[in-house]
Amino acid sequence: MTDIGWLTKRPIAHRGLHDGNHEIWENTLAAFRRAIEAGFAIECDVHQTKDDQVIVFHDDDMLRLAGRGGLISDLPLAEATRLRIGGTEECAPSLRQLLDLVNGQVPLIIELKGIEGTDGALVKAVARELANYQGEAAIMSFDHHLIRRFAAEAPGIPAGLTAEGRRMSDMEQHFSMLARNIDFVSYNVEHLPNPFVTFVRERLNMPVISWTVTDWELKKQSDLYADQITFEGFDPRVPAA
C-alpha cells in the first residue's frame, strides 16, 4: 500500500475554502487560494473535456455553476476555462492551473467525475498532469469504471474510493473495490459507522476520510469513525462555542 500518511494530517477543504457560493465559489482559484492561506488540504472535482483535457468542475451539466445549458464534457478546454462561475469574475480552472497554484503548498485530493461514454481518457489525462507534480496528491472516484483503470492508467498515484450508503448491497459493491488496490476511502459522514469502513480501518489499516462535514456535531461523529474530515461551512480550527 502506498504511504499516504499526509492524507489525514490536516482538514480537507471541500471544493476549496469557498463561502457557500456567496462571493467565493466552489472549485475556483479564489477558493483554493483561501484554503492554501489557511493551511488546509484541498479537495476538488474534475471532468474530461471534449478535447481530452481536464477541467476543475463538479456538475455534469453547466446550469448551476455557469448559468448555461449543456454538459461540461461537450466543451473543449479553452472554452470551458472561460466559463464564469456563479456570475463572478472567477472562471473554471484547468487542472494544470490548479496544480500551478497549489505547487505543493498543501495536499490535493482530486475526485474524478465520470460521464460514461465521454470519460474514456479522464484517468490518463489526470495522470499525465500529475506526472511531474512535486506536491502531495491523490485521486479518487465514486465511479467504479474509473477506479478499475487507476492501477493501469495512473500507476503510483495514491487512489481512493469515494462512497456512501449502509445497505448490504452498498457494502457488497464497496468491498468489491478492495480488489482494485485502493489506498484510502472517502465516505459520507452521515452513513458512519458501517461494516465496510470498520473493516478497512481496523483490518486493513487503511485511512478513511469523511465527507462532507458541515458543523461541529458532524465533526464529532466523523472523529469517532474516520481519520480526517472533508469540510465546508465552518472553520474546524475554531472550537465550537
- pLDDT, residue 241, reads 62
Q: Within 13 Å, how many C-alpha atoms sit on residue 83's CB side?
A: 32
Q: Is there a contact between 175 and 196 (Cβ–Cβ < 8 Å)?
A: yes
pLDDT tens by residue, the chain, 241 residues:
578 999 999 999 999 999 999 999 999 999 999 999 999 999 999 999 999 999 999 999 999 999 999 999 999 999 999 999 999 999 999 999 999 999 999 999 999 999 988 999 999 999 999 999 999 999 999 999 999 999 999 999 999 999 999 999 999 999 999 999 999 999 999 999 999 999 999 999 999 999 999 999 999 999 999 999 999 999 999 877 6
Q: Which domain holds residue 170?
A: 158-235
In a domain, 13, yes or no: no
Q: Is there a contact between 230 and 184 (Cβ–Cβ < 8 Å)?
A: no
CA separation for the pair 212, 16 (Å, rounded): 12
In a domain, 153, yes or no: no
In a domain, 112, yes or no: yes
Catalytic positions, written as ranges: 14, 58
- Grid coordinates representing 73 are 464534457
- pLDDT, residue 71, reads 97
Assign 199 to helix, strand or coil: helix
Q: Which CATH number belongs to the domain containing residue 42 in this structure? A: 3.20.20.190
The whole-model pTM stands at 0.97
- Are 26 and 111 part of one and the same domain? yes
In a domain, 142, yes or no: no
CA separation for the pair 62, 78 (Å, rounded): 15
Q: Which CATH number belongs to the domain containing residue 211 in this structure? A: 3.20.20.70
Domain count, the chain: 2
- Are 67 and 126 part of one and the same domain? yes
- Grid coordinates representing 108 are 490535493
- Grid coordinates representing 140 are 479518487
In a domain, 149, yes or no: no
- Are 61 and 124 part of one and the same domain? yes
- Are 212 and 115 part of one and the same domain? no
In single-letter form, the type of residue at position 172 comes to E
